[in-house]
Amino acid sequence: MDKWNRSQPARLGGSDTVVWYNRGGPKSGRGIAWTGRPETYYAQPLIKKSPWKWQIVLYFFFGGIAGGAYLVTTLAHFLGLGKKNPALIRVGRYTSFFSLLVSPVLLIWDLGRPERFHHMLRVLKFRSPMSIGTWVLSAFGICCGLTSVHQMAEDGFLNWLSPISRIFKALPVKTLETIGSFFGILLASYTGVLLAATAVPLWARARYILGPLFLSSGLSTALASISLILSLGKPEEDALDRLDRAEIATMVTELALLSSLPSTLGPLGKPLIKGKRGALFTCGTVIGGVLLPLLGRLGFRISRNVPSRTVNIVSSLFVLIGGLIMRYVWVYAGHDSAQDPEATHEYNRVEWEELTNKQ
């Protein structure tokens, strides 16, 4: 663009169309016209969209379940529910572990050069959410793996390795759970922070919401996973009751965060709220994944009836599908936002106005 002399604009017919001429000026007859202000450089978007595809969507989903399930199980263990509801602790630990196993596979698969994944562990950059996320995933994996092996030893799966089984049973599991829960919270929430740390207008504008939203969604999908697995077997009514209360609390929080998006995003929320993806987000996540399961559970709670196994299974599936849809829509709506130069201008304008108003 340096070859265009911005000191010599000309308007066509008094309209908003502006022509920028080259150094020869208007007499050269060579120029480029834009309607309104210049929006792109050489007809290209102002920023690049992320290369993330379905692997990252699934990584966000399973990472949220892994971190959320580990935190739920730790709280249940610390509250002394392990003796009364051993199945709750067992299912929670295994759910977290198997969700964790899928996460690094998807993350490495998404890399342009998968064989170089270990380069992410050579340095730790505190200003890079991706670098921090790699280390969080590694630290959480160690704690979650040791806790799961301890559970396997307790369940008798390692009796054929008698000396090793005794060692795993003697692990300081509560210490591991305390450390692992900290990294589990980071794992469930950092995916939202990772999106917000970019220049994509949609993601950057929602920077104060994405972290808490992904954390609450991770907890709700983790609770739904545990409830679903317990309902497929012989569930303990006390365990399902406690899970039901926890799900109501997380879904209320998630619904409150979702409700704040339209006012926070304004016109920048168009890729998320409008069109086919907007309909999918509204129907699949807000209504199907949060509102309907929440109203259903509140209805049973008010009527003091115990939800049947079928109701628990259907409600859990709705929450899981809604959580997956939410991550899909956020990732691909961000792609659309990055490709829209007007969104970049609008984001810069809004941020500048807020900055000047604070001063």
Q: How confident is the model at residue 7 (pLDDT cuts 50, 70, 90)?
A: very low
Bigger pLDDT: 217 vs 341 = 217
Higher pLDDT, residue 176 or 161: 176
* Cα–chain center distance at 173: 28
Q: Which residue has the higher pLDDT, 69 or 129?
A: 69
Q: Please state, in angstroms and as integers, the Cα–Cα distance from residue 93 to each residue in 118, 167, 274, following that order.
A: 27, 19, 39
Instruction: Say if residues 290 and 316 touch (Cβ distance below 8 Å).
Output: no
Residues belonging to the chain? 359
42-56, 105-119, 330-344, range with the lowest pLDDT: 105-119
What is the distance between the alpha carbons of residues 10 and 40, in angstroms, rounded to a whole number?
19
Query: pLDDT value at position 186?
Result: 92
Q: What are phi and psi of 159, to 5 degrees?
A: -65, -25
pLDDT tens for residues 189-245? 988 988 888 889 999 999 899 999 999 999 999 999 999 998 887 767 777 888 888
pLDDT at 114: 63
* Residue 359 binned pLDDT confidence (cut-offs 50, 70, 90): low
Amino acid (one-letter) located at 303? S
pLDDT of amino acid 98: 94
Which domains are assigned to the chain?
4-35 (no CATH), 54-260+270-358 (1.20.1630.10)
Judge if pTM exceeds 0.85. no
